[in-house]
Amino acid sequence: MDPTGVPPDGDKPAIVEPSPHGDAPDITQRFLRQRIRQQQILADLGVKALQGASFDEMLTETVRLTAEGLRSEFCKVLEHIPSENRLLVRAGVGWEPGVVGVASVGTDLASPSGFALRTGKPVISNQLENEERFRTPELLRRHGIRRAMNVILQGDGKPFGVLEVDSRSNDGFEEHDIAFLQGAANILGMAIEREQRERSLKTTLERQQFLLREMNHRVKNSLSMVASMLHLQASDVGDANLTLHQ
């Protein structure tokens, strides 16, 4: 994956709803400082991933720093649970207690996060209250979310879920914000791949250890049977010798 913000599937165009404030160029010092901070955040996340930070730490730091980089109050990692056809809030910042690890949203195309998961395309919705392309998930309505942005999270060979940032403000997410969000998703994706491979390796090792224990158990049983048979044969020979002496 490319941590610079290029989508892993190629140059797929973002689904963007225009900002309510228009498309006037923003060349203010605040904008420049934010862009510099975003690059610092991506660098920090990349270093953490390369240093082997735990998966839970990468999840926590990604949502925290992504929210900071986009000046948003909310961010979450949604993990796809195929067997239940839902996206579970695996990690998050800004949400009320009882959301992370419990709440979930749909995976259908009528949901912004579901659309990002199914199509692999980034989604920006700056006016959820007026959104006609998607329905607004109850979780977002309950928290007063007015705008959202989603990008897909790739795992080891298949999508892991979605990285989403949300805000109550009336500002608008722009195309350049997608680059930062996708960059954060790409770095987290590397941690996801590592976690999945380590889990697979652990499962393989546990299976090998189980088979080894099973083999040892069977060998011990076989040796016990052989020892018993030899003992019986020795007893029979002893009885035969005693009979001959008599």
**Residue 28: exposed, middle, or buried by beta-carbon count in 10 A (0-12, 13-18, 19+)?**
exposed
Q: Is 151 part of a structural domain of the chain?
A: yes
Q: Are residues 182 and 7 in contact, defined by beta-carbon separation less than 8 angstroms?
A: yes
pLDDT category at 235 given cuts 50, 70, 90 is: low
Q: Which residues of 102-141 are buried (b: 16+ CB within 10 A; e: fewer)?
A: ebbbbbeeebbbbbbbeebbbbbbbebeeeeebbbbebbe
Q: Is 233 part of a structural domain of the chain?
A: no
Q: Is 240 part of a structural domain of the chain?
A: no
Q: Is 62 part of a structural domain of the chain?
A: yes
Note the pLDDT of residue 147.
95
Mapped onto helix, strand or coil, the DSSP state of residue 218 is: helix
Q: Is 222 part of a structural domain of the chain?
A: no
Give the tens place of pLDDT for each residue, 90-136. 999 999 999 999 999 999 999 999 999 999 999 999 999 998 899 99
Please state, in angstroms and rounded to a whole number, the distance separating the CA atoms of residues 20 and 78: 27
Tokens for 79, please give them: 């993990």
Count: domains in the chain: 1
Tokens for 40, please give them: 């610092």
What is the Cα Rg of the chain in Å?
A: 29
Sheet with 104-106, side-by-side order of all strands: 15-16, 123-125, 147-154, 159-167, 74-81, 86-93, 104-106
pLDDT category at 238 given cuts 50, 70, 90 is: low
Question: In DSSP terms, which residues pair with 123 in a beta bridge?
Answer: 15, 150
pLDDT category at 60 given cuts 50, 70, 90 is: very high
Q: Are residues 165 and 181 in contact, defined by beta-carbon separation less than 8 angstroms?
A: yes
Residue type, 205: L
Q: Is 111 part of a structural domain of the chain?
A: yes
Give the tens place of pLDDT for each residue, 133-185. 999 999 999 999 999 999 999 988 789 999 999 999 998 999 999 999 999 99
What is the rounded average pLDDT of the residues 194-209?
Answer: 72
Q: Could you list the residue range(s) of the whole structural domain that residue 149 is in?
A: 15-199
pLDDT category at 8 given cuts 50, 70, 90 is: low
pLDDT at 241 over 80: no
Q: Is 40 part of a structural domain of the chain?
A: yes
Look up the CATH number of the domain holding residue 95. 3.30.450.40
pLDDT at 242 over 80: no
Note the pLDDT of residue 79.
97
Average pLDDT score, the chain: 84
User: Looking at 33-42, 57-66, 92-101, 212-221, which range is the least confident one?
Assistant: 212-221
Threshold 0.85, pTM exceeds: no
Q: Is 228 part of a structural domain of the chain?
A: no
